């Protein structure tokens, strides 16, 4: 009976993993498809795809290391003796690689020379986002030098600074990116009083994937009777929770706060209106003129 239960739980975990991977992977398509159909990036904050590429590149490296690096896996086992293996699965890697490709595609749509889309002159990466981008690369580089300088054997001893700390550093870059990348888009929606151009389909799919990801993580940890599967894989746990919070925020904006935005956007501008509407030229609200 016990062996049958173990087989069932493992099979269920794998099934949940692939389902949430498909949900998260599918969430990358509505936005670039919408941009292509509209021949415009209006409504989409460029900060979002800018840091997405960096974040998912780090996440892909994180998953590759935990799946295929003997050094990292040995160091993980030494620091988490009750866990046989990290709670990282191949579907995590498949998702990360796919995300890098689709994020790069979406970012490229802001280059008119490539796609010929309408791009506002205001749609440029903000200084805070550029600071996060280059600051993250600098921080990981410094971490590598710390490991090489502080470790007595070049980063192989898990009891001191080790290569697994660099990999955790990459995961925290991904976490920081996830926390920050949604803020500019939420702010753009707020300033425009509209979610026009920001496809809600990606949010619904992301929400479904986040919930299933958490279910799989708790299932794996409970099966191993060791909750260090969560503490040992903090990026997966925190990433899901942060994403869920922003998904809820975007759903509130789309379905409650700005549910009439489409009708307002397509109507001629009311000279007495005080809320900036979407410009047909660049999708950026203009300052009111006296």
pLDDT digits (tens, 9 = 90+) for 230-245: 666 666 677 668 789 9
Rounded Cα gap, residues 249 and 203, in angstroms: 10
Tell whether 286 is covered by a domain.
no
Mean pLDDT of 101-108: 95
Tell whether 52 is covered by a domain.
yes
* The total number of structural domains that make up the chain: 1
Tell whether 237 is covered by a domain.
yes
Rounded Cα gap, residues 136 and 177, in angstroms: 9
Tell whether 290 is covered by a domain.
no
Q: Of how many residues is the chain composed?
A: 290
Tell whether 36 is covered by a domain.
yes
Most confident of 85-94, 136-145, 150-159, 192-201: 136-145
Tell whether 175 is covered by a domain.
yes
Report percent pLDDT > 70 for the chain.
83
Tell whether 277 is covered by a domain.
no
Residues sharing a CB contact under 8 Å with residue 174, sequence separation 6 or more, in sequence order = 55, 56, 58, 59, 62, 235, 239
Tell whether 280 is covered by a domain.
no
- Compute the mean pLDDT over every residue in the chain, rounded to the nearest whole number: 83
Which range marks the domain in which residue 169 is found? Answer: 2-266
């Amino acid at each position: 009976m016990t062996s049958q239960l173990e087989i069932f739980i493992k099979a269920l975990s794998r099934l949940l993993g692939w389902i949430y991977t498909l949900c998260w992977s599918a969430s990358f398509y509505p936005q670039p498809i919408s941009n292509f159909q509209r021949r415009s990036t209006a409504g989409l904050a460029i900060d979002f795809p800018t840091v997405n590429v960096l974040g998912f590149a780090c996440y892909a490296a994180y998953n590759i290391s935990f799946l295929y690096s003997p050094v990292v896996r040995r160091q993980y086992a030494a620091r988490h003796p009750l866990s046989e293996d990290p709670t990282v699965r191949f579907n995590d890697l498949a998702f990360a690689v796919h995300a890098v490709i689709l994020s790069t595609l979406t970012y490229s749509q802001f280059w008119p020379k490539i796609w010929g889309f309408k791009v506002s002159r205001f749609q440029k990466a903000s200084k805070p986002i550029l600071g996060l981008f280059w600051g993250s690369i600098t921080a990981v580089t410094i971490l590598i030098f710390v490991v090489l300088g502080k470790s007595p054997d070049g980063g192989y001893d898990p009891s001191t600074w080790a290569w697994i700390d660099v990999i955790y550093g990459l995961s925290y870059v991904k976490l920081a990116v996830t926390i920050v990348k949604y803020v500019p888009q939420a702010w753009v929606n707020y300033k425009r009083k509209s979610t026009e151009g920001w496809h809600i389909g990606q949010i619904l799919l992301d929400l479904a994937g986040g919930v299933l990801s958490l279910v799989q993580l708790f299932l794996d940890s409970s099966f191993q009777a060791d909750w260090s599967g969560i503490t040992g894989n903090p990026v997966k746990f925190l990433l899901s929770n942060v994403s869920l919070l922003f998904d809820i925020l975007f759903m509130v904006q789309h379905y409650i706060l700005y549910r009439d935005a489409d009708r307002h956007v397509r109507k001629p501008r009311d000279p007495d209106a005080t809320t900036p509407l979407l410009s047909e030229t660049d999708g950026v609200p203009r300052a009111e003129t006296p």
